[in-house]
Structure 1
Amino acid sequence: MCKPEPILAKPVAITGPLSCLMFTLFLCSMLFVSVFAQEKPEKSLSAKPDSCTVIPKDGTPLKEVQISGSKQTFYNNKGNIKVNIENTLFSQIPSVVELLSKLPTVQLSNDKENINIIGRGEPLIYLDNQRIIVNDLNNLSTSDIKTIDIIHNPSSKYEAEGRSVIVITRNKRKEDGSKVSLSTTNSFKRYFHTRNGLQVNVKKNKLEFKGGLQYNHQNLWESNGNDFSIPEQNIASNYRVYSIGTRKQTILNGGIYYHINETDYLSADVNKRYQDGDFVNTTNSTIMQLGVLDHIYTLNNNEGARPLFNANLNFNKNFKNLGGQLFLGAQYARFAHDVSNTVYNNNNYTEAILNHKRLQHYGAEVVTGRADFEKTFQPKMKLDIGTSVSVATSMSGLNQTEYDPTNETESIFEYGERLYAAYAQLSGELNKLTYTAGLRMEHADNEGTGSSSSLLLKKNTTDFFPKASLSLPMGDANSLSLSYAKTITRPNYAALSQLTIYINPFFEWANNTNINPSIKQELAATVQLNNNSLSLSYYTANDPVYYAIQFDNNDQKLRMINTNYESESGLNLLVTVPFKYKIWKSTNTFTGAASKVKDPAARSNKMKPYLYVYSNNQLQLPAGYTLMVSGWAISKRNDGVFDQNAMYAIDTAISKTFAKKLTATVSYNSILSTTESKENFATHNVVARGVYYADVREIGLSLKYAFGDIKESRFKNKEVNDSRGRIN
């Protein structure tokens, strides 16, 4: 018998009196600001109201509707939201992932590795028209971002995956020079977190260089629990797991841009992330089987690394004689996830015994080439055509040694995918009617081989994805828009692996190597009335992917696994309403939604529609202080299978820039919020009642200092990998 390895020393938790002290310090900071905000501000030129015309990626000119006054933060264009980040309090938020969580309809998972748009699912993410993944957002600084667009009806130029797109646009400035930015953010949740960054921009004549270095150290806490019952087997079980550990990240990024002439350029970009972490999972479980009740305490020591590498090369050429523009791009991405586990179990308060040691590896590589050509036939008509090829490979391996009795298990699964795509899109204006019509074709060859016959996989599919939209103006600031889109959601490569998370001898989280893509079709109508908009959409989906709970009679184990459900349909109503009164600017969105998920293996419940409300409020105080209070709430909901509880959160922050160089921001996230998410459902005759605890309440101080100046950056770079978002 072996004794368990010692649990890692825990950082000091913010609970009880310490939490009260931190809240008092935050109130003192607010009081300090309110006192000094009475100082007479420096004289400055008043900013004129901004007015602009946005040219979306589909090339159709659309008038942008201004939400706020002289220095607006939010724009609303036919239900799509544009957020101005530059020179706003949003630019002082320490991380881009946290920034996105404060935008309307955007929701983050508890581990902050997945993004969801209310009523629309997981979005595509672009950086300057570059396809990126959530982890790539850690390479960015919020101070480098100009705008963020949340697009609910993307055109055919975007890959067919996803019903919505988040587009992040970086700053553009002029003339030669250099700029260095230093930033640090120190915050407390339950434990201490620190983020530190260095960004360097150098521009000389036609050549521009960007480089960055970040070091992040996070002390993390996570927890969840489930109550399971299997009436047919007379089995009941529950667990509560706590995960405490550290995550260290070092991120390097660099890019070079050569401006050939006014329209042509050559650029390259490289990003590298080093990440390792040590976690200790402790689980208290009970298992009632055949009338016997067992209490089990599980200690799981985890060590892991998750390196990420990405590089791309772009070339853009304008052909004046043809009236067109050609883009060529190539990209390589690599991701790995290695984790080792040492697991001890203590049955019925006896002693801890070494149960097993497990080594797991997952790695994925993607190589992509892309070509796009756009041609303008007349001032109000444009044709876009393009093609892309993506080749992806992934491998997951498991090596497990069990003790008492000793047994060794090895398993390997290799997956390969070739994705070929081509599209054509015509957009323009005819008698004041704005139109876009496009068709995208995607052919996928998928093949998987493994240690057992159950891991064999071979699929060949060809799908066509039409998209169309019409917009009819009804006055200077009013319009009616209609759209149709067919899209696809493919599983990410990590989901097509053997990676598992051991909770106790009876239960584990697992992946599924045989998930089908989900096809969706959607009809939408949007009415724009001055600054307000109302959007109504209806969608249907085949093979939607959700978690299911399954019991394996052979090894007497319960597994939570991603699987395809039969169908899903839903109706969404989105209303955007801005408000402005003197120094107070407010942007509000309301979403009413109802969806129905069906599957023969799932217990069907009565559908319950839900309401989602978001509000962002900013007050421009004297002496250059800015106060922001934002919040969201979502009501209790049931989609016919999954029953989820109501949730809410309110964040607040205050910021001040000193001497145009140093910006200080004090923030208190989730000052009021729910700390647990509940989800109940039943599949395959197993009932699951889950609760997931979030470590969301956070107080932090962020400092950013910049020196030097580049009046305009021409830096452009496109990630051309259409499958980039699926690598991890």
Structure 2
Amino acid sequence: MNLYLPLKLLITLLLFCLSCIANAQNETPKDSTSNQLDEIVISQEKKTFTNSNGNIKVDVANSVYSTIPNPVDLLSKLPSVQVSTDRESISIVGKGNPLIYIDGQKGTITDLNALSVADIKTIEIIKNPSSKYEAEGRAVILITRKLSKKDSFRTEISEVASFKKHYNNYLGFNSSFKKGKLEWKANFNYNKLNPWEKHTLEYEIPKASIISNYDVMANTHRNQYIFGGGMYYKIKEEDYFSINVNGKLQSDTFDINTFTFNQNQDVVNNVFTLSDNSSKKDFVNAFVNYSKKIKSIDTQLFAGFQYSNFNQHLKSLVANNYNETDFELSQNRDQKFNVDVFSGRVDLEKKFKNEMDLEYGALYLKAKSVSNADIFDFEKNSNEISDYDFKEENLAAYIQFSGKLKKIDFSFGLRAENTNVYAKFRTQISPSIDKNYTNLFPKANITFPIDSTKSIILDYAKSIVRPKYSSLSQIATYINPYFLYGSSINLGPAFVDEISSTIQYLDKTLKFGYYQTKDVVNPTFVFNEETNVLMITDINFKRETGFTIDLTLPFTYKFWTATNSLVFAKSKTEDDAALLHPSKPYLYYYSNNTFKLPKDFSFVLSFWGMTKQNDGIFERKANFIVDLSLAKTFGKNWSCTLNYNDIFKATTYTDAFSINNINSKFKYWVDANEISIAVRYSFGKIKDSEYKEKSVNESENRIR
């Protein structure tokens, strides 16, 4: 890392200086009422990035991004978006996990994997979503697909060869067919992956006179089958019926090797733990939608039903070798988790002639999960069986009114949600959770135009962050005889209040934001004094407060297009069980630079990083990541992309915190250094597909 530090600093300084120089070359358009304030295009031609009110919109169809084989990798190249190394989750810097919408309709990362990049027109990152989006989520990723009415077909085949520590392969097929009022879509992806993981932990428990550390590494062999299919039938011009099914089937085999040092008072042990694991994770999602225009009252009606199922089965056989003796079997762990979710919703929208819009609707959701744990202890020759049932019902209603008064745009909305939660162990009489609560979630947005090139936007939003259903299960991962990774059955939702103000000038934005999160979710330690086993799990902390200053500077100069983003942030997390120290601000920076070269070549250099973070409890060291890619299109059917990601091998995270009188320091190594070759071949063509699907379940992201 130190060897690369001067080069990193040089690259960062050079690119930002070049950005400023190129930005100075942009012509400032004359103040004209013909310029639109709701979206300011970076230049007169079609450009990759536009920026409005702090929301970034990316023209995928007419950029180098159309050559990326899958949507998840595409998102990872966009500003503020970070994709986890297992490709299972997406986050926005300063906002957490976003909601995903496809053509204005709710989706998940599984739905993303079922999309073809060739069908995507634009992607927009919305950092202050209105109340028409549900209360869960402080940001939205909105994907808009190409639309057309012509009868035709299209099939696309993509292949990605990825070289990390081990070889990974992604193979995909996407096809669509349209004839008259009927349209079909289908896709199938097979991924053979070999992810590598490693982390270390040092911890101290002064109360018990325990000092310990471990080094753990896991190599996984994973098979993924991703599938999707659906039908869309256009009844009338504004009426349609659709049905869709998609899912992901995943099987893993992985060994976890752990070297542990543990000192309990005067007793010292060096333990080598070998854990053989097999896991299955299956997800299936199906929904039926119906939309109709009620002409008598000039209102658009939507009704839909959705069913989702997630099933996980984890088996682990654990053996320990104490102080270089022989391996002895320790535990045989058999853990299962299943969740079923059914939901139905109705939405109505009425547009008035005076630029006013009224939206209202309701949703009902019912979820049921079952968690089973069967653990045999070889040392004690005993078997422990535990069954945990969880049920949740959610009833929600919302109303939103938006429009324009003179030159001022406004949007006011209110959402009410009633939640009923009941959970218990089957061997217990009293429930572990028995809650019934109702919450209101207001949202407001007002835009004041100063002139045709400048405006000021004010936003307020109250939102909720619910735990995933899988985090409410009993499934735990055995690391060594002294340490477990566990879930939290008592985890509750977090509530966020946020206000912000945005100054827009042409395509530049400067945004100020302040937020307060009650019952924020963070990791903690639970120590069992009888067994001397330490478990890390998630709980609700007291609160988190923070502010952000977000500057977005996109520009285009000749063959060079860039988007630069700077986020200055300071947050403070508080909890009575944690050791508090002064919080410090940190800086997130991002720059994506695309160069259109002769002969249909495109070169992309992007980098992002963060300075050292300290929120009063958790400390994380700085990091700096650089990615390169070179793309080439061959005619209308072939494209090839060469990627070199994390070229400095710098994707490591070092965290430190003290809680419950336990001091700890983690270090994670992420297998992000990658060279990949992507090839895509397509034939046939559909122009402006009318295919629509709408997710009914607003808690779909919680299932996995």
Q: CA deviation at 1:356?
A: 1.1
Q: Please say if 1:66 is aligned against 2:45.
A: no
Please say if residues 270 and 310 of structure 1, whose CA atoms lie closer than 8 Å, have aligned partners that are also in contact. yes
Q: Which runs of 5+ in 2 are unaligned?
A: 1-28
State which drifts further: 343-352 or 446-455: 446-455
Q: Which deviations, in whole Å up to 9, do the C-alpha atoms of 1:73-92 show, x marking residues without a partner?
A: 11111011111211322222
Q: Assess, with a 3 A threshold, how the Cα gap between structure 1 residues 62 and 512 changes in structure 2: closer, same or farther.
A: farther
Task: Tell me the SS of whatever aligns to 2:112.
Answer: helix
Q: Please say if 1:130 is aligned against 2:131.
A: no
Residue 238 of structure 1 is aligned with which of 198, 209, 213? Answer: 213
Distance 2:277 2:285 in 1: 26
Q: Please say if 1:525 is aligned against 2:501.
A: yes
What amino acid does structure 2 have at the position aligned with 1:631? F
Please say if residues 217 and 257 of structure 2, whose CA atoms lie closer than 8 Å, have aligned partners that are also in contact. yes
What amino acid does structure 2 have at the position aligned with 1:258? Y
What amino acid does structure 2 have at the position aligned with 1:709? K
Q: Please say if 1:206 is aligned against 2:181.
A: yes
Q: CA deviation at 1:108?
A: 2.6
Q: Please say if 1:326 is aligned against 2:292.
A: no
2:53 matched residue in structure 1: 78
Task: Tell me the SS of whatever aligns to 1:495.
Answer: helix
What amino acid does structure 2 have at the position aligned with 1:675? T
Q: Could you state the TM-score of these two structures normalised by the residue count of structure 2?
A: 0.93
Q: CA deviation at 1:718?
A: 0.3
Q: Please say if 1:184 is aligned against 2:159.
A: yes
Please say if residues 321 and 328 of structure 2, whose CA atoms lie closer than 8 Å, have aligned partners that are also in contact. yes
Residue 682 of structure 2 is aligned with which of 706, 713, 720? Answer: 706
Q: Which deviations, in whole Å up to 9, do the C-alpha atoms of 1:152-181 show, x marking residues without a partner?
A: 111111111111111122222330011111
Q: Could you state the TM-score of these two structures normalised by the residue count of structure 1?
A: 0.90
Q: Which deviations, in whole Å up to 9, do the C-alpha atoms of 1:520-577 show, x marking residues without a partner?
A: 1011100000110011010111100011122111221101100010011000111000
Q: CA deviation at 1:93?
A: 2.2
Q: CA deviation at 1:248?
A: 0.4
* Segments ≥4 residues shifted beyond 6 Å: none
Q: Please say if 1:541 is aligned against 2:487.
A: no
How do 1:92-111 residues align onto structure 2 when only pairs under 5 Å count?
92-111=67-86
Distance 2:559 2:417 in 1: 50
Task: Tell me the SS of whatever aligns to 1:672.
Answer: coil
Distance 1:225 1:637 in 2: 19
Q: Please say if 1:444 is aligned against 2:419.
A: yes
Q: CA deviation at 1:588?
A: 0.5
State which drifts further: 520-529 or 165-174: 165-174
Q: Please say if 1:473 is aligned against 2:449.
A: yes
How do 1:573-592 residues align onto structure 2 when only pairs under 5 Å count?
573-592=549-568
How do 1:139-538 residues align onto structure 2 when only pairs under 5 Å count?
139-451=114-426, 453=428, 456-538=432-514
Q: Which runs of 5+ in 1 are unaligned?
A: 1-48, 54-60
Distance 2:603 2:557 in 1: 15
Task: Tell me the SS of whatever aligns to 1:378.
Answer: coil
Q: Please say if 1:650 is aligned against 2:626.
A: yes
Distance 2:647 2:43 in 1: 26
Distance 2:49 2:425 in 1: 50
2:94 matched residue in structure 1: 119
2:573 matched residue in structure 1: 597
Q: Which deviations, in whole Å up to 9, do the C-alpha atoms of 1:572-623 show, x marking residues without a partner?
A: 1110001222111111110000000000100001101100011111111111
Task: Tell me the SS of whatever aligns to 1:725.
Answer: helix
State which drifts further: 303-312 or 669-678: 669-678
Please say if residues 85 and 91 of structure 1, whose CA atoms lie closer than 8 Å, have aligned partners that are also in contact. yes
How do 1:709-720 residues align onto structure 2 when only pairs under 5 Å count?
709-720=685-696
Q: Which deviations, in whole Å up to 9, do the C-alpha atoms of 1:189-245 show, x marking residues without a partner?
A: 011111111111100011000011111000110111110101121101111110002
Task: Tell me the SS of whatever aligns to 1:282.
Answer: strand
What amino acid does structure 2 have at the position aligned with 1:645? K
Q: CA deviation at 1:648?
A: 1.6
2:16 matched residue in structure 1: none
Distance 1:178 1:94 in 2: 19
Task: Tell me the SS of whatever aligns to 1:369.
Answer: strand
Please say if residues 598 and 640 of structure 1, whose CA atoms lie closer than 8 Å, have aligned partners that are also in contact. yes
Q: Which deviations, in whole Å up to 9, do the C-alpha atoms of 1:416-453 show, x marking residues without a partner?
A: 00000000010000010000000000000000011455
Distance 1:376 1:390 in 2: 28
Q: Please say if 1:632 is aligned against 2:611.
A: no
Q: Please say if 1:693 is aligned against 2:637.
A: no
Please say if residues 651 and 672 of structure 1, whose CA atoms lie closer than 8 Å, have aligned partners that are also in contact. no
Please say if residues 86 and 143 of structure 1, whose CA atoms lie closer than 8 Å, have aligned partners that are also in contact. yes
Q: CA deviation at 1:455?
A: 6.4
Q: Assess, with a 3 A threshold, how the Cα gap between structure 1 residues 68 and 588 changes in structure 2: closer, same or farther.
A: farther
Q: Assess, with a 3 A threshold, how the Cα gap between structure 1 residues 178 and 109 changes in structure 2: closer, same or farther.
A: closer
Distance 1:721 1:129 in 2: 14
Please say if residues 314 and 718 of structure 1, whose CA atoms lie closer than 8 Å, have aligned partners that are also in contact. yes
Please say if residues 284 and 296 of structure 1, whose CA atoms lie closer than 8 Å, have aligned partners that are also in contact. yes
2:7 matched residue in structure 1: none
Q: Please say if 1:87 is aligned against 2:57.
A: no
Q: CA deviation at 1:398?
A: 0.4
State which drifts further: 711-720 or 592-601: 711-720
Q: CA deviation at 1:673?
A: 4.5
Distance 2:433 2:161 in 1: 47
Q: Assess, with a 3 A threshold, how the Cα gap between structure 1 residues 506 and 256 changes in structure 2: closer, same or farther.
A: same
Distance 2:578 2:40 in 1: 45
Task: Tell me the SS of whatever aligns to 1:436.
Answer: strand
Please say if residues 110 and 248 of structure 2, whose CA atoms lie closer than 8 Å, have aligned partners that are also in contact. no
What amino acid does structure 2 have at the position aligned with 1:611? L
Q: Superposition RMSD on alpha carbons, in Å?
A: 1.5
State which drifts further: 478-487 or 107-116: 107-116
Distance 2:540 2:382 in 1: 33
Distance 1:169 1:412 in 2: 43
Please say if residues 313 and 337 of structure 2, whose CA atoms lie closer than 8 Å, have aligned partners that are also in contact. yes
What amino acid does structure 2 have at the position aligned with 1:83? V
Distance 1:660 1:602 in 2: 59
What amino acid does structure 2 have at the position aligned with 1:655? A
What amino acid does structure 2 have at the position aligned with 1:351? D
Please say if residues 478 and 530 of structure 1, whose CA atoms lie closer than 8 Å, have aligned partners that are also in contact. yes
Q: Which deviations, in whole Å up to 9, do the C-alpha atoms of 1:476-497 show, x marking residues without a partner?
A: 1211000111111111100111
1:45 matched residue in structure 2: none
Distance 1:82 1:726 in 2: 26
What amino acid does structure 1 have at the position aligned with 2:458? L
What amino acid does structure 1 have at the position aligned with 2:255? V
Aligned residues: 670
Please say if residues 37 and 453 of structure 2, whose CA atoms lie closer than 8 Å, have aligned partners that are also in contact. no
Distance 2:65 2:362 in 1: 36
State which drifts further: 167-176 or 209-218: 167-176
State which drifts further: 669-678 or 282-291: 669-678
2:17 matched residue in structure 1: none
Distance 2:69 2:589 in 1: 25
Q: CA deviation at 1:128?
A: 2.1
Q: CA deviation at 1:68?
A: 4.8
Distance 1:642 1:139 in 2: 37
Distance 1:135 1:346 in 2: 40
Distance 2:644 2:499 in 1: 40
Identity %: 40
2:652 matched residue in structure 1: 676
Q: Assess, with a 3 A threshold, how the Cα gap between structure 1 residues 488 and 402 changes in structure 2: closer, same or farther.
A: same
